[in-house]
Structure 1
Amino acid sequence: MAVVAAGHRRGAEPHEGRVMSPPGRPPHAGVDVHAPSAARARNGARWLVDALVAEGVDTLFGYPGGAIMPFYDALHGAPLRHVLVRHEQGAAFAANGYARASGRVGVCVATSGPGASNLVTGIADAMLDSVPLVVITGQVATTLMGTDAFQELDVFGMTMPMVKHSFLARRAEDLPRIVGEAFRIARTGRPGPVLIDLPKDVQVAPAEHLPAHARSPVDAVPRPPDASLHEALALISQARRPVAYGGGGIVLADAVADFRTFVDATQMPTVLTLKGLGALPSEHPLNLGMLGMHGSRAANTAVQECDVLVVVGARFDDRATGKLAEFAPQARVVHMDFDASEIGKLRRADAGVRGDLRRTLAALTLPCAAHLHARHGAARRQWRAACQQRAHAHAARYDAPGDAVHAPTLLRRLSALAPAAIVACDVGQHQMWVAQHWRFDDPRKHLTSGALGAMGFGLPAAIGAQMQDPRAQVICVSGDGSFLMNVQELATLRRYDLPVKIVLLDNQALGMVRQWQELFFERRYSEIDLSDNPDFVAIARAFGIEALHVERAADVDHALDALLAARGPALLHVAIDTAANVWPLVPPNHSNAQMLDADDVASLPLAMPESATPPPEKPHALPA
C-alpha cells in the first residue's frame, strides 16, 4: 500500500518538506524521493545527521514541523531509519522502549512549541526510570527567541527539572561539543534523557568548517572503596536471616550475571522490585518474587523478618517499601549502588557501598559465601527453607472458577507460550498482573513505566522494542484505559508492518482507580466507567491490523495460539470482569506485613458491605 502525503505538520507550509517512505513500501508517485545533491553545502542540520551516524544511531523516532524542517531535509537520503509516529508522545515512548530493550541511547525528534511539549511525558518517564535518551527539538531562530514568536516555547526551561542536562545551540560551532556531551551524559553513570534544543537558523548555518564528529568516551565507573566492602562483608557474614533485594540498577550496570552469581553463591532468598524483575529468573528456587504494594506474600514477609537486607541497585521506592518507618524493622542494611545520592536517602545504610555494581558483587561473592557457610549455617538453612515453603504455600493459583476469562491465568499461559518475548506494558491493573504472573528471565524483556506510571506507554514502547530487533517477539499488554491514550500508533504498526502482538484486557473501567475507590473510598465510584468503549476489534481492523475477541475461559488457548500465529501485527481483545481486583495488596501508608487478599476486604474500616455496592455508572449519553 502506497504512502500518500496528506496534510502538513503544525507550522509547516504545504510542500515545504519531503515524505520518506517506510521500509519496503513504494513511495507515492507525487513525492520527491531523489537523493539530495552532493553539491549542496553542508549546514548545521546535515552536520548533525552525520554526527548521529557517527554515534552509532541507526533509528530515530519523530514527527516533523516548521522549526525542525532543515533537520528533516538533511535526513532525506541519509543512512538513518526514521520512524514516523502519529503523535510526539509516541516518539518519546518509542525511543524509550528502544533504549530499554537494547541498552543503547534512544533518539526522538520533534518541532518547536506543541511538538516539543508533547514529548514531555516521555522525557519525564526516561528521567525517573533512568533511560538513556537524546531528545532533539526544533526551536525558532535565535533572532526571534524571547519575542513570543509563532510556536516559540521555552523547552530548555520547561524540561530542566526532568533531564540530566539541557543544551541550547546558539551557533553551528556549538554543535560538536553539544552532541558529544549529550550522548556521553545520556549513557554515563546513571543513564537519563538529555535535551538538544536546536534553533532553525543554527540548522541552516554553514557547517563545512566543522570537524567530523568524534564519539566521546563514557566516564569510568568508580571502583567500590575497600573500606566499604569490608563493612558490607562484616555485616553480611553475621546474618542468620539474610535477604537480597534487587532493583533496576542491576540491569543499568550490566550486572545481571554478577547478581545471579552472588545469589547462587550466598544462597540468599531474593526479592525484586518492579524494574528488577528478571534479574533473577522467575523460576529460580531462591526468587521469592516482587516485593511491595502488589508483591508476593513470601517476598514481603521475608523482608519484614530478615536480619540483614542486602540492597543491590534499588532505591527504597514507596511502592516497594510501604510505610517506610515499618519496612524491614529488624534488618541492618547493606546498600550497594552506583549513585551515591541513593545510599541513605530514604533508609539509613549500616554499610553503604558506592561504585560499579559488577565490581562490588564480584568482590563480595566469594568472601560472603565463605563466611555465610562457615557461620550460622543451620540457622540460615532453616531460614531459607521457611522462605521457600512460604513461597510454595502462597503461590498464585490459576484455577479460577466460572466461564469468564481470568486475566492472571491468561497472562501465565501466554508467558509459557512466548517465553522469550519482550513485554511492553501499560499502567494499571494489567501492569501488576504482568509483574506478578509473567515469568521473566531478563530485565530487558520487561518494559514498563515504573516511577512515573504513564498510561499510554505500552504500544509505542513495543514499537521501539521491535525496531531495535526486528527478529524479537514483542508483546504489548494494555488496558482499555491506557490503550486509547496512544491508539493512533496502530497506524505506525501497520505502516512499518511490525509484528507486535497486542493483548488488550478490557474491564470497561479505569480498573486500578476503581479498585481503590472500592476499597478505600467507600465504593464512591467517580469517573471510572468506560462502558461506552468503542469496538476495539473494529478499530484495529480499520487500521489494517488483524484482530480477534475472546470472552470465555474455554476459548483462551485457541485465541492465544491464533494471536501468536499471526504473521504481522495483531490484537487480541479480552473481555474481563469489571470487578476483578489485583491481589494481594498492601493498603497505602501501611506496613508490607499488612497484606490483604480478597477474603480480607470485609475487615477494611472503609469497606462497605457487599449489599451496599452501587450499580455501575451509566455512560454519558451520546448524540444520535
Structure 2
Amino acid sequence: MQSPILFLVTFILVIIAWVLIKKLRKVILFELDQNSKHFGGELVADVLKVNHFILTLFPSEAHDVQFLFTLCGGHISPILVAAERQNIRVIDVRHEASAVFAADAVSRLSGTVGVAAVTAGPGLTNTVTAVKNAQMAESPVVLLAGAAAGLLRGRGSLQDIDQLSLFRSLCKWSGRVNCVKDIVPILCKAFYLARSGTPGPVLVEFPIDTLYPYGLVRQHLRISDNPRSWRQRFINWYLRFYLFRLFANGFRIQPCSPGQIPTQIPVSIPSIPWPSMKHIEQLVWLLSQAKRPVVVVSSQALLPPVPSAQTAEHVKSLRVPVYLTGMARGLLGRHHPCAFRHARRAALRVADLIILAGTVCDFRMDYGRVLNRKAKIVIINRDKKQLCLTSISVTLGAVTMKNCALIV
C-alpha cells in the first residue's frame, strides 16, 4: 500500500520541480539570447587582437596579435573567420607542425606571443615536434586546438582523443574551454602563463560547440519540438540544460578586476623574476675583484621585457670578454672588441669569474666540465632547474633574467 503512495508523492514532487525549473530557468541558468548570431570564435579573436580586461587595466599590454598560423579544419573554422574580421592575418600552411614553427619564429623575432590554431586529433598530434621545440627554446606560444563537442567527448566522435594528456609534458599549461563564458578568462590565462616566469608554449582546447552560434549547435543536437514520451521529454530537458550551460552569459564581456576573473589569475603584466639587491651588490663586487672575467650570453637574455638593444648596451658597458650563443649571436655587432668568437673553451678554463647569462650547462658547455673549478661562477636564469645542470660549485645562482640591464 505504501509503494503506490510513495510513487505518487515522488511523481508530484518531480512535476513541481519541473515547473519551478521551467519558471525560474533564466534566473538559475543566467541569461541567454537564443536569437544571438554571435559565436565563440568572435571572443577568441577579440582576445587575440584586443584583450578587453588588459586593455582596461593596462592599455600597453593588449595582445594585438598580428599573425595566426593554421591549417584549416572544421573544428576551428569560426576562429579563422573571426580573426580575419579583426584584421589578423591568417596564414594557412601545409602541415600543422609548420604552423607552430612559424608561431615560434614570430615569438623569437618580435618578442610577442606567437599564435597557431590547429584542428582536433591528428591536427594537434602533428604539432608535437614543433611544440617541443618551442618548449626547449623557451618561446611564448599559444596553441589553439579544436576538439570534439563536450556532449560527445569519449563517445567516438570525429577525431576525438585525450589531447590534454598528450600535451601535458610539452606545455607549461594545458586547459579546456567547457562553456562560452570561459573563453575570455581561459585565453587570458594562457597568454599570461606563456609569457610569465620561464616562457613557453601553452595549449587551449576548444570543443567545437563552444565556437559556433547557438542556433547552429541547437540544430545539430536535434531537439524535438513535440516530444511524445517521458523519455523523449527527459532527453530534451537534458539537451536544453546542456545548451543553457554552454551559452549562458557567454557574450557579456565586461571589464573586471583581477580578483573577479574565474581563473583567479591576475590580469596584469606577465610575472618576470627580479634579482634581489643583495645579488646585484654581490655580483658587482665579484666583477670589481675579477682579473680574468668571462661572460657567456645566450638566448634567454633576449627575452622581453628588456629590449635587446638595451641589453646590448649594458653588456658593452661591462668591458669584459663576451661570448654569444643561440639567439644572442650578433647582439654586439660584428666588430665590437669585447665580442669573442673563438677559443671559448680555453677562456673558460682560465677565467677567474664566469657569468652565464641565460646560458645552460648542457652538451654545448660540456655539462659544465669546461668551466674552471677554481673560478667564481654566476648563473643567471629564469628557471631554477637550469641552475642545477652543472656539477660545478656555483658561487651565485640568481633566478632572474633581467641580467645585465640591472646588474651594471
Q: TM-score, normalised by structure 1?
A: 0.48
1:246-297 CA distances to partner (integer Å, 9 max, x unpaired)?
Answer: 11121014353454344433321111222321222232111112xxxxxx3x
1:186-245 CA distances to partner (integer Å, 9 max, x unpaired)?
Answer: 122322111111001111254653315789322343431122223223332221211011
Task: Report if the CA contact (8 A) 2:315-2:404 is conserved.
Answer: no
Q: Does 1:155 align with 2:151?
A: no
In the alignment, the residues of structure 1 paired with residue 142 and residue 152 of structure 2 have an alpha-carbon distance, to the nearest angstrom, of: 25
Amino acid at match of 1:364: I
Task: Report if the CA contact (8 A) 2:49-2:65 is conserved.
Answer: yes
Q: Does 1:66 align with 2:110?
A: no
Q: Over aligned residue pairs, what C-alpha RMSD do you find?
A: 2.4
Task: Report if the CA contact (8 A) 1:249-1:314 is conserved.
Answer: yes
Aligned to 1:343: 387
In the alignment, the residues of structure 1 paired with residue 275 and residue 337 of structure 2 have an alpha-carbon distance, to the nearest angstrom, of: 30
Aligned to 1:317: 362
Q: How does 1:369-388 map to 2 (within 5 A)?
A: none
Aligned to 2:183: 175
Shift in CA distance, 156/326, structure 1 to aligned 2, threshold 3 Å: same
Shift in CA distance, 80/326, structure 1 to aligned 2, threshold 3 Å: closer
Q: Does 1:51 align with 2:78?
A: no
Instruction: Give secondary structure in 2 for the equivalent of 1:343.
Output: helix
Aligned to 2:88: 80
**1:300: how far off?**
2.1
Aligned to 1:306: 351
Q: Does 1:361 align with 2:404?
A: yes
Instruction: Give secondary structure in 1 for the equivalent of 2:103.
Output: helix
In the alignment, the residues of structure 1 paired with residue 285 and residue 114 of structure 2 have an alpha-carbon distance, to the nearest angstrom, of: 41
Larger Rg: 2
Task: Report if the CA contact (8 A) 2:345-2:370 is conserved.
Answer: no
Aligned to 1:332: 376
Amino acid at match of 1:94: A
Instruction: Give secondary structure in 2 for the equivalent of 1:86.
Output: coil
Task: Report if the CA contact (8 A) 1:51-1:212 is conserved.
Answer: no
Instruction: Give secondary structure in 2 for the equivalent of 1:275.
Output: helix
**1:363: how far off?**
4.5
Q: Given the alignment, which residue of 285, 301, 307 partners 1:250?
A: 301
Aligned to 2:312: 260
In the alignment, the residues of structure 1 paired with residue 255 and residue 91 of structure 2 have an alpha-carbon distance, to the nearest angstrom, of: 23
Q: Given the alignment, which residue of 200, 211, 229 partners 2:253?
A: 211
Shift in CA distance, 345/332, structure 1 to aligned 2, threshold 3 Å: same
In the alignment, the residues of structure 2 paired with residue 251 and residue 53 of structure 1 have an alpha-carbon distance, to the nearest angstrom, of: 24
Task: Report if the CA contact (8 A) 1:107-1:134 is conserved.
Answer: yes
Aligned to 1:272: 324
In the alignment, the residues of structure 2 paired with residue 53 and residue 255 of structure 1 have an alpha-carbon distance, to the nearest angstrom, of: 22
Q: Does 1:139 align with 2:190?
A: no
Amino acid at match of 1:82: V
Amino acid at match of 1:276: A
Task: Report if the CA contact (8 A) 1:68-1:111 is conserved.
Answer: yes
Shift in CA distance, 348/147, structure 1 to aligned 2, threshold 3 Å: farther
Shift in CA distance, 263/83, structure 1 to aligned 2, threshold 3 Å: closer
Amino acid at match of 1:331: A
Give the unaligned 5+ runs of structure 2: 1-34, 51-62, 215-246, 257-265
Instruction: Give secondary structure in 2 for the equivalent of 1:100.
Output: helix
Shift in CA distance, 326/71, structure 1 to aligned 2, threshold 3 Å: closer
Aligned to 1:104: 112
Shift in CA distance, 257/301, structure 1 to aligned 2, threshold 3 Å: same
**Overall identity of the aligned pairs, in %:** 28
Q: How does 1:579-594 map to 2 (within 5 A)?
A: none
Give the unaligned 5+ runs of structure 1: 1-38, 290-295, 366-624
**1:155: how far off?**
1.7
**Paired residue total:** 317
Shift in CA distance, 284/211, structure 1 to aligned 2, threshold 3 Å: same
Larger helix fraction of residues: 2
Q: TM-score, normalised by structure 2?
A: 0.71
**1:362: how far off?**
4.4
Task: Report if the CA contact (8 A) 1:248-1:313 is conserved.
Answer: yes
In the alignment, the residues of structure 1 paired with residue 348 and residue 369 of structure 2 have an alpha-carbon distance, to the nearest angstrom, of: 13
Shift in CA distance, 317/139, structure 1 to aligned 2, threshold 3 Å: same
Shift in CA distance, 87/238, structure 1 to aligned 2, threshold 3 Å: same
Instruction: Give secondary structure in 1 for the equivalent of 2:146.
Output: strand
In the alignment, the residues of structure 2 paired with residue 81 and residue 212 of structure 1 have an alpha-carbon distance, to the nearest angstrom, of: 26
Instruction: Give secondary structure in 2 for the equivalent of 1:161.
Output: coil
